[in-house]
Structure 1
Amino acid sequence: MTINLDELREKISDTDAKLLSLLAERLRFTQQVAETKIATHKDVRDPKREEQLLVSLVKQGSKLGLDPHYVTNIFHVIIENSVLNQQALLAERANPEHSQPLNRVAFLGNPGSYSYLATQRYFARRPGELHEMGFKTFKAVLEKVESNEADYAVLPIENTTSGSINEVYDLLQHTSLSIVGEITQPVKHALLTKNQKDISNIKQVYGHPQALMQCRVFIDSLDDVKKVPCDSTSAAMQLVSESERDDIAAIGSIEGGNFYNLNAIKQDLANQQENHTRFIVVSRKAVKVPIQIPAKTTLVMSTIQKPGALVDALIVLKDNQINMTKLESRPITGNPWEEMFYLDVEGNTSDGPMQQALEDLKGITRYLKVLGCYPVEDITHTKVPVFKALSE
């Protein structure tokens, strides 16, 4: 019997369409679940329920001949999407003043930059039309929100390869804006060219300084190649796209390169395989985070100039059982050898332990400010005891 390839592909396409329809139906059910949780004040996540669900799905999949890890990976993505959509709905209900028909969002660069991609992902779950506004500097991005010319700004704050983005931290010292959200964007750097396909012919590589730093090992391995910093990855890609030279390349994402008709001749360029950038979203108005949603709070403080002052501040967090996820120090402008400390902690400013910690910190610091309390969007996947599930 001859297998008709076109017929098989048509059946696969029909199956894919059914899967999409079922996923949409599942999403509608999870939205109803979110409505119930709002009414009953239940937490968005139920780890025990998630584990039971995944164990059951692994068993069902095994009977159908599906690999347990394949089933687990698929449903991790589905559950993550469900959790984020439920969190977005709860946050929307708690902050009706932030729900508007148009979201004017400022970011670094133009379409195709990593900030642009992060903006697209973050606001895909938020109501209202998205109006993107790209600028050349972080300062200009913040100023647009401060002057009410934009509603939000999306700013990169740290990267797993190159570390903290100090310029953004320094700007946060002097802004009245509040952090209202965060999103972690996978960063997959590629070498992008207009027509060139041979890496050995590349003489100049354009990119944002952070991107060039994150790909330093790869670039240094090339013979006699000059690194040229640009305002953003999109600016680098646009420059290469508009140039008549065929010996230049840009560092950027494949998705971004598509905006400028560039081709990736080399992928996965970052010094570290796991390369992610965390972005913060800032606005003129702070947000209320429902207690059912995992929250993060960002603080900035300066301590009294005495031995052990920082340790005393950290002990306050320990005594209130608050976990610190980030500690960053930056020089205080105009005060040589003095530091401002930025802290990310797990906790909600509406919760008792966090309120007590803030009160205690006020008494032992020279300066303390909450830069924002906002929902955590970095979803930790529930672990599944696969072998145990299959043995039962």
Structure 2
Amino acid sequence: MTDKLYSLDDIRTNVSRIDNELLKLLAERRQLSLEVAKSKIETAKPVRDLTREQALLLRLVDSGKELQLDPQYVTQIFHTIIEDSVLYQQAYLQKLTNPESLQPVARVSFLGSKGSYSHLASRNYFSKKQTQLVEMSCSTFRDVINTVETGNADYGVLPIENTSSGSINEVYDLLQHTSLSIVGEITQPIEHCLLVATDTSLENIKTLYSHPQPHQQCSEYLHAMGDIDQEYCSSTAEAMQKVAELQRNDVAAIGNASSGEIYGLTAVKSGIANQQENFTRFIVVARKPVEVTSLIPAKTTLIMSTAQKAGSLVECLVVLRNLNINMTKLESRPVIGNPWEEMFYLDVEQNLKSDVMQEALEELTRLTRFIKVLGCYPSENVKPVDIEF
């Protein structure tokens, strides 16, 4: 007796059936994670339990081995599932903590048109909040902020730093003078491609269009291309629009492949960033601050100006060290109009309402010439737990 041979159509039908079953199970699991969040309100337990997550992954790896599944494959899948569960619970708890923010529709401003990285980050951030968007494209970072300040938008999404090109200084400078508060963050993977409108080859390309940041993030590849004209645009979306309009075989845009499809562009070369692990962190700003429940990890961002004497900044950092407050970001920017004076931006992993953060602010206020909290918001960076196979 021989094994039955399945046709390709039969195989694909079975694969589709299994995929649909997986989706139903994932939806069921997500709903159960919501019930977990409700129970944690009653017990005042934090959303993340790293010890349990580690034990869960170890058990799943062992079960996977029995099914001949590679441990890395299993952990990769369940890291994603756990991240979704954590963020889903956080969003639920934040809605309960900030009932005034409950709205089925939100007006969101961002840099560039549809398809820009800021547009993608906006959609990804609010998809986790289950909020319908009214999308408002802007041509500059200042316009993004002004649109929210004037009440024409509820939120603004701004890139703040990239793993390859570093901090976006213009955004930091704008934060010095705005009355808006940071209410959220999201880290967006950046996948740069060379996008063209015609059937052409790399050898034909003479001019590249994009925002200055992608040019900088892909500098090594662009240098290897030789004598290429680099034209700057206000956003990657504008660059893609430009190439689509030109319809020439000697021009290309740097941008995201899926976004390029919106403008009828195709990728002639992928993975051109200096770093393959290329991410941009975006912040979300609003007119009113949010309150962050103590059950979820929080970040607080503040700016301060120290005295112009040796050791002033060190004294401030010692305060954080002594109170065991982890600082995840320190950035300095010149104070416009005050030569040689610096404004320092700090991100710390601490809830603004906590006793330890209030103690730190009291000490820092005494040591600094100026200090201002820019916002306290849920940390969206769900770090996976490590396990040994």
Confirm or deny a common fold (TM above 0.5): yes
* Counterpart for residue 78 of structure 1: 81
Matching of residue 255 in structure 1 with residue 272 in structure 2:
no
What RMSD, in angstroms, separates the aligned Cα atoms of the two structures? 0.9
C-alpha distance in 1, partners of 2:326/2:375?
A: 16
Query: Following TM superposition, by how much is the alpha carbon of 1:224 offset from its aligned partner in structure 2, in angstroms?
Result: 2.1
C-alpha distance in 2, partners of 1:54/1:213?
A: 39
Q: In structure 2, the residue corresponding to 1:170 is in which secondary structure?
A: helix
| Partner amino acid, structure 2, of 1:93 | L
C-alpha distance in 2, partners of 1:11/1:224?
A: 52
Trace 1:295-374 onto structure 2 (pairs within 5 A): 295-374=298-377
* Counterpart for residue 234 of structure 2: 231
Matching of residue 58 in structure 1 with residue 61 in structure 2:
yes
Q: Number of paired residues? A: 386
Moved over 3 A (4+): none
Identity percentage of aligned residues: 56
1:154-193 Cα deviation digits (max 9, x unpaired): 0000001111000000000000000000000000100000
Q: In structure 2, the residue corresponding to 1:65 is in which secondary structure?
A: coil
Query: Following TM superposition, by how much is the alpha carbon of 1:39 offset from its aligned partner in structure 2, in angstroms?
Result: 2.2
Q: In structure 2, which of residues 173, 177, 181 is the aligned counterpart of residue 178 of structure 1?
A: 181
C-alpha distance in 1, partners of 2:306/2:5?
A: 78
1:270-296 Cα deviation digits (max 9, x unpaired): 111211100000000101111111111
State the TM-score, normalized to the length of structure 1.
Answer: 0.97
Query: Following TM superposition, by how much is the alpha carbon of 1:37 offset from its aligned partner in structure 2, in angstroms?
Result: 1.0
Trace 1:83-122 onto structure 2 (pairs within 5 A): 83-122=86-125
The 8 Å contact of residues 188 and 280 in structure 2, kept in 1 or not, is answered as yes
1:224-261 Cα deviation digits (max 9, x unpaired): 21000000000000110111322100000011111111
| Partner amino acid, structure 1, of 2:45 | K
Query: Following TM superposition, by how much is the alpha carbon of 1:267 offset from its aligned partner in structure 2, in angstroms?
Result: 0.5
| Partner amino acid, structure 1, of 2:150 | S
| Partner amino acid, structure 2, of 1:192 | L
C-alpha distance in 2, partners of 1:267/1:38?
A: 46
C-alpha distance in 1, partners of 2:67/2:146?
A: 56
1:337-374 Cα deviation digits (max 9, x unpaired): 10000011110111111110001101110100000011
The 8 Å contact of residues 303 and 310 in structure 1, kept in 2 or not, is answered as yes
* Counterpart for residue 383 of structure 2: 380
C-alpha distance in 1, partners of 2:366/2:64?
A: 57
The 8 Å contact of residues 198 and 247 in structure 2, kept in 1 or not, is answered as no
The unaligned stretches of length 5 or more in structure 1 are: 387-392
Q: In structure 1, the residue corresponding to 2:339 is in which secondary structure?
A: strand
Query: Following TM superposition, by how much is the alpha carbon of 1:11 offset from its aligned partner in structure 2, in angstroms?
Result: 0.7
Query: Following TM superposition, by how much is the alpha carbon of 1:67 offset from its aligned partner in structure 2, in angstroms?
Result: 1.2
The 8 Å contact of residues 100 and 127 in structure 1, kept in 2 or not, is answered as no
Trace 1:117-196 onto structure 2 (pairs within 5 A): 117-196=120-199
Q: In structure 1, the residue corresponding to 2:19 is in which secondary structure?
A: helix
